[in-house]
Structure 1
Amino acid sequence: MNITREKRALALPGILGLILVLGLLAWGGLQLRDFVLEVTRSRVNEQAMLPTLLYGVGSIVLGFILMGGFLVVQPNEARVLTFLGKYTGSITRDGWYWVNPFAKKQKLSLKVNNFNSERLKVNDATGNPIEIAAVIVWRVTDSARATFDVEDYQEFVAIQSETAIRALASRYPYDTHDGTESLRGNPDEVGDELRKELHKRLEIAGIDVLEARISHLAYAPEIAQAMLRRQQAQAVIAARQKIVEGAVGMVKQALEQLKSEGVVDLDEERKAAMVNNLLVALVSESEASPIINTGSLY
């Protein structure tokens, strides 16, 4: 496929075009006036003044035709010009211009646009069905590509965005507890990767992706309750592991401190009993009730 490159169109400032048009109209008017005056005074016959008439009428007609070449380009707007089926250039700077009046002048917006994708149902990297949607911020940077290299650049953005979102969702799990990247745990990294993926896909249409962010992320309704219970169970297990790790560290510190300061000399059996009691007190969900032992361990 031939890639169209944007180029600058040949255009005159509007004031110069206006001077040209007014000059033609004025000159044509003078020619017609001379023709009328000469004929009415009967100084010459009408046939001798026919060239004057033709010049006058031709100049006026040409002036009105050239008036069709005026156009105004607003800020963040482009005009794509084609003449006889050939691309002749684009005007991307705002202002008043005069161009070939026979050229087709197509208006194109260069403003920043938002694309809000629909909620797509896809499978994540672990095979779980999820719902995902994203917001894409984009703008046209090459008016020629957006006009000639794709059929409808707005529809092209929509289709490619949904395709990229599906591809991205299938490469990441919804959530993890082992520190690996996930859709839920790393939204900034996932959004940046989505932006880069879309930039490569939309470059052919002359479109630049400024930002991409996930706007909706959830498990599919048919597994939402089951996955919620699974998440809760995983959270409880992770919390228990932290509690046990902390309790073991506290018991170890207590035994080492008792030994280093010479508070009491415990044999292995008493150490085991103390460790058991401390772990029960620290790990238990309910508040521990102390029991004073007045007898002997033996």
Structure 2
Amino acid sequence: MGSAADQTLLMPRVLAPADAVTERPGPCLPGWTAGVALLTAVLAAAWLLWRAALLPLPPLGGLLPDPPGDAARGSGLWSGLVLIGTVAALAGSGLVRGRPGSVWMLTRCGGYRGTVRRTGLLWISPLIRRRRMDVSLRHWRSRPIDAVDAHGTPVQVTVLLVWRIRETARAAFAVDDCTRLLREEVEAAVARAVSRRPADDFRGNAGTLRDCDRLGDDLGRLVSASMREVGVEVFSVTPVRLEYAPDVAAAMRRARIATLEARQRKAVLDDVLTAVADTLRGITERGLVELDDYERKSLVRDLTVALLATPEPAGRPH
């Protein structure tokens, strides 16, 4: 185990809420604007080449005048072509496609420029760095997480997490790795929630970790509260498996079986005592026989032994 300082350095760094940026719409244009710019650039280039007699056209019956020819060739022609090529390159390289479930994160020189959530064909300036970020609903099934219940018994819990990125700016800049932080927060929440109740209560009917709905609510509140500041929305944290650690699983299984057998014996004894009490009450109320204390005790003992020794009918539920 490393020192506390080393473990702190390994944890994902979360910025203070005051230092974290907030999401805002990024600059973009509809894709058709870039298409119009490309078409205009092509037509302008064709017109310049035609004026320089470098792009021969078929005769159109005198609709077009003759090109100027060599008079139009010169530095102006090549400057115009360079300018048109630059416009066409900017228009073409800025075309992107916005898909449902993902956004474009825009940055320039390390600074946040906005988030584009629009879908369809878009144009984003190629002078701005763009990065696609997944904001769709995601799920993650954890490995068995080691924890200790309220009685100090080691257990292993497997959870199913459903989440998504709600605010892209905080998720990208408020933490080094929001996915890694989310998984570590789930492990921390499991350790806290599991330690509040025992895994099983063999002596009473107190709340246990077998109540998956309650345990899931506790885990969801803990994880949501810790991930809200980094722009991650947690929908549910559902425990899908809860079992004892391998080193105590056999002993806890024996304890559970012993508890079930004790409860079954108690239930059988209660039924026998109820039957004996009903029998004595019926004899007394009908006046069939007068019994003193000694005879009553002897009759209770004999009836109890007889009923306990009677085998249960086949098919009777335990």
Q: TM-score, normalised by structure 2?
A: 0.78
Which AA in structure 2 matches 1:61? T
1:66 aligns with 2:91: yes
Kept in 1: contact 2:219–2:237 (CA 8 A): yes
Q: Which amino acid aligns with 2:216?
A: G
* Structure 2 counterpart of 1:6, from 23, 26, 29: 23
Q: Tell me, yes or no, if the aligned pair for 1:67 and 1:101 is still in contact at 8 Å.
A: no
Give the drift of 1:61: 1.1
Separation (CA, whole Å) in 2 of partners of 1:285 and 1:30: 110
Aligned residue among 24, 33, 40 for 2:69: 40
Distance 1:171 1:103 in 2: 50
RMSD of aligned alpha carbons:
2.7
* CA displacement at 1:241 relative to structure 2: 2.4
Helix, strand or coil at the partner of 2:24: coil
Relative contact order, higher structure (CA 8 A, sep 6+): 2
- Does residue 195 of the first structure (1) align with residue 220 of the second (2)? yes
1:35 and 1:284 map into 2 onto residues whose CA distance is 118
Query: Which moved further from structure 2: 72-81 or 84-93?
Result: 84-93
Q: Distance in 2 between matches of 1:29 and 1:196?
A: 64
**Structure 1 residue 273 corresponds to structure 2 residue 298:** yes
Displacement of 1:15 in angstroms is 1.4
1:97 Cα deviation after fit: 0.8
Aligned residues: 283
Q: Secondary structure at the match of 2:208?
A: coil
Residue 156 of structure 2 aligns with an amino acid whose one-letter code is: E
1:24 corresponds in structure 2 to 41
Describe how 1:111-150 pairs up with structure 2 within 5 A.
111-150=136-175
Q: Which runs of 5+ in 2 are unaligned?
A: 1-15, 55-66, 313-318
Gaps of 5+ in 1: 288-298
- Distance across 2 between alignment mates of 1:235 and 1:285: 21
> SS of the residue aligned with 1:173?
coil
1:211 aligns with 2:236: yes
Identical positions, percent: 24
Partner of 1:151: 176
> Which segment drifts farther, 224-233 or 63-72?
224-233
Q: 1:121 to 1:8 in 2, by over 3 A?
A: same
Contact kept, 8 Å, 1:29 with 1:60, in 2: the verdict is: no
Tell me the residue number matched to 1:294.
none
Question: Is 1:238–2:263 an aligned residue pair?
Answer: yes
* Per-residue deviation, residues 162-187 of structure 1 (Å, max 9, x unmatched): 2222222222211113122212x212
Per the TM alignment, residue 245 of structure 1 is displaced from its structure 2 partner at its CA by: 2.7
In 1: Cα distance, 2:157 partner to 2:252 partner: 16
Distance 2:94 2:73 in 1: 38
Distance 1:142 1:263, change over 3 A: farther
